[in-house]
Amino acid sequence: MRELSKDPWLVTSPRNSVWALAHGRSLAIGDIGHIMAIVNVTPDSFSDGGRHDDAERGFRHALDCVADGAVILDIGGESTRPGAPEVTPGEEQDRVLPLIERLSKETDALISIDTYRAETARLAIEAGAHIVNDVYGLQYDAGMAGVVAKTGAGVCIMHTGRGRDDRLADVIADQRLFLEQSLDMALCAGIRRDAITLDPGFGFAKVTQEDMELMARLPELQDFGLPLLVGTSRKRFVGAVTGRDTPDQRDVGTAATTVAMRLSGAAIFRVHNVAANRDALLMADALLGAARGFRERQAG
């Protein structure tokens, strides 16, 4: 692993920046945090499987999420919960493409495709998606980085521990090992730096202690100089801490993580319950704004 100070990706970023996305769109990153709504068009996702498993129900749910304050709609056609059966590329595409096409025509929301398959990503962007959310951080499908670069899509590169034999014991060291590998792939493929966000991958092959330590040490990932997108919504570790057994009982615990990680520098929050987390985010942003105002007054 290279020394962090010598890595060309690790530069100090200003508080305010712009995430460059496909189709000429962009998202301002700065004083206001953003909500990415989870829209699973699947029968078996861990929290909401079957609730929005056709294009019409998915469309109505997506509109509700926008009304509640979501800026990004993350469309997924395959469950990533542990033990979920793998779907074929054709099944995945049949689930997500009609919804993406309709949303792109009937809303101004930013659309993300939650996939690790390059062909699904390419077709989704053609249908109107702006962002690729890859839970394998470009490392599953060799063609993914090229698709992102060619289309000009924004990309969320997520850390995972799944299927790896090179994991490091320290949670931040392992984040840096994996994410540096992904960023090298992005750089070689020609992905623009301002098109990238990073996701620590809460709950992906991590135990509760690792997730909690990762959250506590989140500011250390600011070394990358890239926006952080986080997804703790209704995850198992939230249930372990709060004692809530079922995923839909974990929204209050999730909102608490939204506040904590916004104060630690996260920019985008991938959630199921948009309204609850939007309120939590508004409070966190107000607190950050008050702190900035105080510092500015003190500085004269």
Q: Which residues pair with 112 in a beta bridge?
A: 74, 131
CB 86: neighbour CB atoms within 10 A?
8
- The verdict on whether 278 is a catalytic residue reads no
CB 299: neighbour CB atoms within 10 A?
6
The rounded distance, in Å, linking the Cα atoms of 97 and 128 is: 9
| 252-259: long-range pairs with CB below 8 Å, 24+ | 252/276, 255/279, 255/280, 256/280, 257/215, 257/230, 257/232, 258/232, 258/284, 259/283, 259/284
The rounded distance, in Å, linking the Cα atoms of 124 and 131 is: 9
Among residues 95, 236, 270, 278, which one is catalytic? 270
Element (H, E) at 276: helix 274-299
- The verdict on whether 270 is a catalytic residue reads yes
Among residues 95, 122, 206, 235, which one is catalytic? 235
Sheet holding 34-40, edge to edge: 196-199, 154-158, 131-134, 110-114, 72-76, 34-40, 268-271, 229-230
Task: Give catalytic residue positions.
Answer: 235, 270
